[in-house]
Amino acid sequence: MIAAVSAVLFVVALVAGCSADSGEGQPGREAGPVARVTMTPGAGDAAVSPTAPVSVSVSDGTIDQIALSNDASGKQVAGELSPDRHTFRATEPLGYGAAYTWTGTAVGSDGKPVPIDGRFTTVAPERTVPATLNIGDGQEVGIAAPIILQFQGPVRDKAAVEKALTVTTQPATEGAWAWFPDDNGGARLHWRPKQYWTPGTTVHVAANLYGVDMGEGSYGDADLTSDFTIGRSQIVLADAPSHRMRVVRDGQTVFDFAVSYGEGNEARNVTRSGIHVVTEKYEDFLMSNPPYYTNVRERWAVRISNNGEFIHANPESLAAQGSANVTNGCINLSPADAQAYFGTALYGDPVEVTGTSIDLSAADGDLYDWTIDWETWQSMSAVDGAPSPVVSATPLAPAPPR
């Protein structure tokens, strides 16, 4: 019996001895590696883009706790921790001209904590440049509608801006961006397809402008998006010598109106030839062109250029409609015909005017996109890093309305 007890005590002693040999600091065993923390941007970095990737990664360990906070507000930045707890990344953009601080702890393979701490600051622009898109969500537009980005200030680095833009279409549509001369208080950029849009096309525009360095201290103010649809094909065929105007919808003539075009005895009253685009319409519109007339009320007015050209009703030219061109540059219809056409017109419908002595050009306003041949249009992009050319024309006296 004494021998049996002695044997048990001996086994316990051996087990205890084995356990003691595996302790920290004993020969033959090393502690696990210390956690290594990498921050992007690095601690102390300045003038960081607010849309740059922001993350913390840990090797030889995992993230235990972590937060990125705005120093001024104390608000935490939204983020995502990877399932293996090796990486944390911010999932929302940062602010301009702000300081951010990391706080947290990583735990290494050695079981010991390592602090996560660091501070960086974002770029503080001299100015931000707001922009607007001309086509809103859910809008249905005509087959000649351009997409227009109007910036409320100059854009020096046009290539950087253009690279932040995408146009996604279904079905696929060939098209391109083109820069126009700075006007309307700032830079202007248009996108149009090579040919008229295919009816029913869906379009998504994403202008990821926030955080974009536009040059000379200017940065993008905010992101913009738009989702819209191309409607039916409707083309106005306006042949001045015939004194008629046909409306062709999906290949079929739906209206054939007697009309009167610009008299054409002076440059100011020539209806311009070329592809115009419907931009807006008014049931009632006061038209003025001193010294010829002021605040004349016209009905069913559809604007087709910014030089004062409209398609509208005019009872005063009724006797000439279908037989003579007597207007100051607009296309005149009878009240009944003008009202019938008015109800069908969409923003972006093409109006193809032919047979007059002066072509539509840059001198006639800011929407003359379809007068520019495709090769020239492509050269007006800045994505190759070359300066955007300026399309210009010798200014003419604008054709007055009516």
Asked if the structure places residue 305 within a domain, the reply is yes
Tell me the average pLDDT across 122-133: 98
Q: How far is CA 129 from CA 151, 186, 209, 214, 216, in A?
A: 7, 9, 9, 9, 12
DSSP summary character for residue 136: -
Beta bridge partners of 293: 289
Q: Is the pLDDT of residue 293 over 90?
A: no
Asked if the structure places residue 299 within a domain, the reply is yes
Same domain? For 362 and 238 the reply is yes
State the pTM of this model: 0.85
Q: Please report, as a single letter, which amino acid is at residue 29.
A: R
pLDDT tens digit sequence for 193-206: 999 999 999 999 99
Tell me the average pLDDT across 294-310: 93
Same domain? For 211 and 239 the reply is no
Active site residues: 312, 330
**Which structural domain, as residue segments, surrounds residue 188?**
127-230
Same domain? For 147 and 172 the reply is yes
pLDDT mean across residues, the chain: 89
Domain final residue pick, 212, 230, 248: 230
Phi/psi at 315 (nearest 5 deg)? -60, -25
Same domain? For 157 and 117 the reply is no
CB 355, CB 239: distance < 8 Å: yes
The tokens of 214 are what?
């536009």
Q: Is the pLDDT of residue 329 over 80?
A: yes
Which CATH number fits the domain that encloses residue 221? 2.60.40.3710
Asked if the structure places residue 391 within a domain, the reply is no
Q: What's the pLDDT band for 30 if we cut at 50, 70, 90?
A: low
Q: What's the pLDDT band for 295 if we cut at 50, 70, 90?
A: confident
Task: Say which range, 27-41, 104-118, 215-229, 350-364, has the weakest mean pLDDT.
Answer: 27-41
Same domain? For 226 and 249 the reply is no
Q: How many domains is the chain built from? A: 3
What pLDDT was estimated at residue 183? Answer: 76
Task: Say which range, 42-51, 64-73, 288-297, 376-385, has the weakest mean pLDDT.
Answer: 288-297
Which of 201, 224, 226, 223 lies closest to 210, judged by CA?
223
CB 96, CB 124: distance < 8 Å: yes
Q: What's the pLDDT band for 24 if we cut at 50, 70, 90?
A: very low
Tell me the average pLDDT across 34-38: 97
Tell me the average pLDDT across 180-209: 94
Domain final residue pick, 230, 261, 294: 230
CA distance 393 to 398: 13
Q: Is the pLDDT of residue 88 over 60?
A: yes
Q: How far is CA 353 from CA 52, 244, 250, in A?
A: 49, 11, 19
Tell me the average pLDDT across 354-358: 98
Same domain? For 244 and 340 the reply is yes
Burial of 294 (0-12, 13-18, 19+ CB in 10 A): exposed
Same domain? For 99 and 145 the reply is no
Q: How far is CA 317 from CA 155, 233, 261, 328, in A?
A: 46, 30, 10, 11
Same domain? For 242 and 335 the reply is yes
CB 372, CB 381: distance < 8 Å: no
Q: What's the pLDDT band for 4 if we cut at 50, 70, 90?
A: very low
Same domain? For 156 and 276 the reply is no
Q: Is the pLDDT of residue 400 over 50?
A: no
Task: Say which range, 25-34, 248-257, 322-331, 382-391, has the weakest mean pLDDT.
Answer: 382-391
Domain final residue pick, 121, 137, 164: 121
Which CATH number fits the domain that encloses residue 114? 2.60.40.3780
Same domain? For 351 and 245 the reply is yes
Which CATH number fits the domain that encloses residue 346? 2.40.440.10
Tell me the average pLDDT across 132-154: 97
Phi/psi at 311 (nearest 5 deg)? -100, 120
What pLDDT was estimated at residue 29? Answer: 45
pLDDT tens digit sequence for 228-250: 999 999 999 999 999 999 999 99
Same domain? For 54 and 152 the reply is no
Q: DSSP letter string over 180-213?
A: EEEETTEEEEEEEESSPPPTT-EEEEEE--BT-E
Q: Give the side-chain half-sphere CA count within 13 A for 255.
A: 23
What pLDDT was estimated at residue 192? Answer: 98
